[in-house]
Amino acid sequence: MKQMKLLPLALLVASCCVFAQQPKVLKFAGDSSPRNLDPIQSGTLYATEVVSAIYDTLYQYKYLQRPYQLEPDLAAAMPQISKDGLTYTFTIKKGVHFANDPAFANGKGREVTAQDFVYSIERNFDPKNRSQGTWLWSGKIVGLDQWAKDGADYNKPVTGLKALNRYTIQIKLTQPYPQLMYSLAMPFSSVVPKEAVDKYGKEFAIHPVGSGPFELVSTNTTKTVLVRNPNYRHEVFHLKQEGYNPKTQAQSGVAELDGKTLPIVDRVEISWIPEISAAWNSFTKGNEVVNAGVSNQYMDQVLASRDPVKLKPAFAKKYHYRVKREEGFVYNTFNFNDPNLGYSKDPKVNAQNKALRCAIIKSFNWPQRINRFYMGMGHAYPGFIVPGTNGYDPKLSKASVTQDIAGAKKLLKQYGWNKHNLPMIIYPSTATVEDRQFYEQFRGNLLEIGYPKNKIKMKTYATFGDFNRDLTNSKTMMAPMGWSLDYPDAQDTLQLFYGPFHSPGANAANYNNPKYNALYEKSASMQPSPERTAIYKEMNKILINDCVGIGSFSRTGIALWHKNVVMWPNAFAGNIFKYIDIK
């Protein structure tokens, strides 16, 4: 028998320590790399994932709480709000430091102050920055818009945006703005140091410096690498405080995070893999990326059933999964500036156009759309309020999302429409196979109600940018759209139909109903309440009754991740990486 050689005790201890100190590396997969990591340009989900890992905002969403609920991040507590709802006073945590960077004296990250927050919001209104986040506070903070018009001089104070002292911020509003708190959890409000912006200039977009849990090592179109920020403040994960629900979340193993110091992993490597098959292959290898979505082409391979969703035993043994309705929706609105579908000064024509819009809606087959393109995952719902936000009414009549060929034909005949006087319908679309298929289904549905074949055409755009340009200039007859929620409030989708937000604004439908506008304006200054929810419901019914568009449907996604990974997929709330652990 071969004799074992005994190692010295000191060497055993050293070996143990080396093994124990092996860094935890999270290999994550994303769809599309962000091109700009400056928070004021973080207008995509992909940018949000990275920016929220590098920067702090005053508030964040509780990781596990549903419905979503805000909690302090950089802020020390929830704000003090004046009785009239116009003045908010915030305090920030003391002893929070930016990551070390050559932009600071001696390369040491200095303490974050209230003035840093003031500067960061002002940057959104500096015209030369062309911020994507200006809309959040435009016209809402006293003096901020005027500050921008006067030349965006950072040495001049803004009346409604002040640092009262090193750790206290005051915001004065022009009118009550209940969504202010949501805006302060969005990456656009991330706190950045002026020193880094000044030092790196345009390069700041790829050289971010924040006070968040991670620092950027490198980024390109294929991979982004983050490492733990050694300056990050002491933060402990408390399961109950973050809204843990054992009935829905126990199977994920996320309870194991309780009591752990954040962030947990030492390094995050995000591989940007736009090709579905490549992402799936990397995931199923077992030693590469740890997460994947189940795309249509793999549904039959992975699922034992779709309603309810269950994995086949072989996949259930290897992976955790979560079924999640998107925080957003897909829909198709009509352009009310179009003479054939929209408004007319002639009451008769106005009534005819409405009847045509309603008939097109009645022709649409939602089950067909969902089965063909989304593998039967999900159900359409009436109106334009996303499930899970206040104002959504599951008891609302499903008539507007139920195909009714006979009803559509009757409506056209009643209002004098026939194959001779029906207008040409121009369906705008980008030049992709899927969008062409969307059009063909839409066209087929119209043919069922007797619409002349030669009066349904598709206008193809080479890129989404080309399509969006015509859309914002009110040059499309319809608007096939998708919308991701900016915050968990129905106001975020109801504002898509507010008259003053017409093209080139968010109201691509150019819908302008005085009653609807008045209700929007009334609700916009109201704090969450049963009364405000009732107004939201009334606004949704107005949109349905006016046949504003074909809607709506929120896509259902299935997230998979390896069982040695502890996480709860949560793209909407951002800041996901600091909560993930590798066993």
Question: What integer pLDDT is reported at residue 17 of this predicted model?
Answer: 47
Give the residue ranges of DSSP H helices in 93-156: 114-125, 144-149
The radius of gyration of the chain's CA atoms, rounded to the nearest angstrom, is 26
Judge whether 248 and 568 are in contact, CB under 8 Å: no
Is-cis flag, bond preceding 263, omega within 30?
A: yes
Residues 31/272, Cβ–Cβ less than 8 Å: yes
Considering the domain delimited by 23-264+568-582, tell me its CATH architecture.
3-Layer(aba) Sandwich (3.40)
pTM of the model: 0.85
pLDDT tens digits for range 141-165: 999 999 999 999 999 999 999 999 9
- Provide the pLDDT for residue 571: 64
Residue 320 in this model has a pLDDT that exceeds 50:
yes
Burial label, 261 (beta-carbon count in 10 A; 0-12, 13-18, 19+)? exposed
**Interval 48-78: pLDDT, tens:** 899 999 999 999 999 999 888 999 999 999 9
Domain 328-554, what fold?
Answer: Dipeptide-binding Protein; domain 3 (3.10.105)
Angle between helices 433-448 and 347-363 (to 10 degrees): 110
Quote the CA–CA distance of 382 and 496 in Å, as a whole number. 16
Average pLDDT over residues 307-318: 93
pLDDT attached to residue 463: 82
3-state DSSP of 39-57: HHHCCCHHHHHHHHHHCCC
- pLDDT for res 335: 97
Q: Classify each residue of 454-469 as buried b or exposed e, where b means 16 or more C-beta atoms within 10 Å of its C-beta.
A: eebebeebeeeeebbe
The string of DSSP codes covering 173-197 is: BSS--TTHHHHTTSGGG----HHHH
Contact in structure between 492 and 340 (CB atoms under 8 Å): no
Model confidence at 3: pLDDT above 50: no
Rounded distance between C-alpha atoms, residue 259 and residue 239, angstroms = 8
Domain edges within the chain = 23-264+568-582, 328-554
Angle between helices 433-448 and 366-373 (to 10 degrees): 150
Q: Are 49 and 575 in contact (CB under 8 A)?
A: no
Averaged pLDDT score across all residues of the chain: 92
Cβ–Cβ < 8 Å for 496, 506:
yes
**What does the DSSP assignment read for 310-369?**
EE-HHHHHHEEEEEEE-SEEEEEEE-TTSTTTS--SSHHHHHHHHHHHHHHHHH--HHHH
| pLDDT over threshold 60, residue 6 | no
Q: How would you class 423 by CB atoms within 10 Å of its CB: exposed for 0-12, middle for 13-18, buried for 19 or more?
A: middle
Q: Are strands 87-91 and 556-562 parallel, antiparallel or unpaired?
A: unpaired
Helices (H), 429-557: 433-448, 464-472, 491-494, 514-524, 530-545
Say if residue 8's pLDDT is above 60: no
How far apart CA 97 and CA 233 sit, in angstroms, is 8
For residue range 343-389, list pLDDT tens digits in order: 999 999 999 999 999 999 999 999 999 999 988 888 999 999 999 88
Given a cut of 80, whether residue 523 has pLDDT beyond it is yes
Q: Can you tell me the distance from the alpha carbon of 489 to that of 506, in angstroms, rounded to the nearest whole number?
A: 16
Residues contacting 9, CB < 8 A, separation 6+: none
Q: Does position 10 have pLDDT exceeding 50, yes or no?
A: no
Q: Which residues of 129-149 are buried (b: 16+ CB within 10 A; e: fewer)?
A: bebbbbbbbeebbbbbbebbe
Res. 527 pLDDT band, cuts 50 70 90: confident
Average pLDDT over residues 275-279: 93
- Residue 214 backbone phi and psi in degrees, to 5: -130, 160
Return d(Cα 463, Cα 325) in angstroms, integer: 27
Question: Letter for the amino acid at 536?
Answer: Y
Residue-level length of the chain? 583
Three-state secondary-structure class, residue 498: coil
Confidence band, pLDDT 50/70/90 cuts, at residue 308: confident
| Residue 71: its H or E element | strand 70-72
pLDDT at 1: 35
How confident is the model over 338-347, as a mean pLDDT?
A: 94
Q: Give me the mean pLDDT over the 441-445 stretch.
A: 97
The one-letter code for the residue type at 496 is L
DSSP state of 221: S
Cβ neighbours of residue 533 closer than 8 Å, sequence gap 6 or more: 390, 391
Whether 444 has a pLDDT exceeding 60, the answer reads: yes
* Separation CA 141–CA 83 (nearest Å): 17
Give which of 189, 193, 190 is closest to 180, Cα–Cα: 189
Residue type, 64: L
Question: Is residue 570 scored above 80 in pLDDT?
Answer: no
Give the pLDDT of residue 4. 36
Residue 290, burial from CB neighbour count under 10 angstroms (0-12, 13-18, 19+)? buried
pLDDT score, position 464:
81
pLDDT at site 387: 92
Paired with 215 in beta bridges are: 227
pLDDT at residue 43, rounded to an integer: 78
H or E segment and range at residue 303: strand 303-306
